[in-house]
Amino acid sequence: MSWYKLVGIDDGIMKKVTDEDKNRQKFIFSMLVIMMIMIALFVLISSIIYLLIIFHSWTVAICTGLFLSLVIFNLYRFLTISAINAEKSGIGQYQIKHEKQYHDFIDNFKINEIAQMPEEAIRKIVNDRKDELREKFPEYYANKYKITTSILTMAIRLSFLSIIALVFSTGLELFIFKSQVNEVLDATANTLRQEVPDSWILKNMLTPQEGKEFTLFHCNSLLLIINVLHAGLGYWKLILDLIFLTIFLLPLILIFKSKEIQKGYYVRELALHEISISFYHYLKTQKRCVEILKQVTTEDLVERFKKSAKYA
């Protein structure tokens, strides 16, 4: 299966990359996708645990858990894949400022020349310039120009993913230590039955609601179960949170630290593709502007408007 396509990787832009390098890039991004799917599965398990405690219904828990896992997967791939660009490479200066690719066409003397170009000529200019830029930066070169990814943007990405990781890590920890948590809850319930049989906690939290049964945990209160988990794990809770946080952030870390991604052929070809699209549409826009200008100067638009059906 072409896993890399799940995050919008378009292998069609790598037509001028060797098959070996192309397959390597596909493999790398497929691994990233598989990591994201594993994270989505963690979210699914954690969501089911939370929802079972609240609703005591497998149907509600599974359906809502699937929905949440899909939302997190799509949010996660957006936050990670949108961070991929060539700004740290030499070609990044052109990606930051596309006008550098066609600066000589930003000239009043060139407008009439552009207007006379047929579609084939425009595409040839764009493709030739694309090939020239590719040859100019065949390998990775450090970009000395300003990097567009601000500290604020990176902080937002990390904050979102960290919050997601910390929220769902607790659900995974509850799943792992379910037996130990239930032992504490059962012991607490037995103690209250003997010493404080009229306890509100016993009647409302540690006793199943009428007509229902406990599912995974012998308690109706999510907060009480989490408090038991915190008390039982102590500082180990922090260590486990850090482990799950690392797992959740690993794809984003790889995107920013992996040389095969930052210096990879896909990133280079993606930058060239974006620059070429900008160049092509600039030429088409200038050509259309000249056509409109000629139409305005040669036709009597007032008379044309008066003869129109809407005016009548």
Q: What is the pLDDT of residues 214-228, one digit of tens each?
A: 888 989 889 999 999
**Does position 252 have pLDDT exceeding 60, yes or no?**
yes
The amino acid at residue 56 is H
Mean pLDDT over residues 125-130, rounded?
91
**Does position 310 have pLDDT exceeding 70, yes or no?**
no
pLDDT, residue 38, reads 94
pLDDT, residue 1, reads 60
pTM of the model: 0.80
Distance CA 16, CA 22 (A): 9
**Does position 212 have pLDDT exceeding 70, yes or no?**
yes
Q: Which of 36-50, 248-262, 268-282 has the lowest mean pLDDT?
A: 248-262
Q: Which of 41-45, 101-105, 282-286 has the lowest mean pLDDT?
A: 101-105
- Quick: pLDDT tens for 192-208: 999 988 898 888 888 88
pLDDT, residue 62, reads 95
Distance CA 40, CA 59 (A): 19
The amino acid at residue 18 is T
**Which candidate, 192, 91, 206, places its Cα nearest to that of 144?**
91
Q: Which of 54-68, 256-270, 292-306 has the lowest mean pLDDT?
A: 292-306
Gyration radius of the chain over CA positions:
30
Confidence of residue 290 (pLDDT cuts 50, 70, 90): confident
Distances (CA, A) of 285 to 9, 238, 281, 298: 28, 57, 6, 20
Helix spans in 177-208 (H):
178-195, 200-204
pLDDT, residue 63, reads 95
pLDDT, residue 108, reads 62
Distance CA 101, CA 240 (A): 49
**Does position 311 have pLDDT exceeding 60, yes or no?**
no
First to last CA, the chain: 61
Q: What share of the chain is helix, strand, coil (3-state, %, to 5)?
A: 75, 0, 25
pLDDT, residue 7, reads 83
Average pLDDT, the chain: 85
Encoded tokens for 195: 């010493």
Q: How many domains does the chain have?
A: 1
In the beta sheet, which residues pair with residue 142? Answer: 89
Name the residue range of residue 97's domain. Answer: 3-311
**Does position 88 have pLDDT exceeding 80, yes or no?**
no
DSSP for 24-68, please give it: HHHHHHHHHHHHHHHHHHHHHHHHHHHHHHHH--HHHHHHHHHHH
The secondary element (H helix, E strand) that includes residue 225 is helix 222-233
Residue with tokens 């404080």: 196
**Does position 49 have pLDDT exceeding 80, yes or no?**
yes
Cβ proximity of 32 and 255 under 8 Å: yes
Confidence of residue 307 (pLDDT cuts 50, 70, 90): low
- Quick: pLDDT tens for 139-181: 655 555 445 456 777 888 889 899 999 999 999 999 999 999 9
**Does position 112 have pLDDT exceeding 90, yes or no?**
no
**Does position 113 have pLDDT exceeding 80, yes or no?**
no
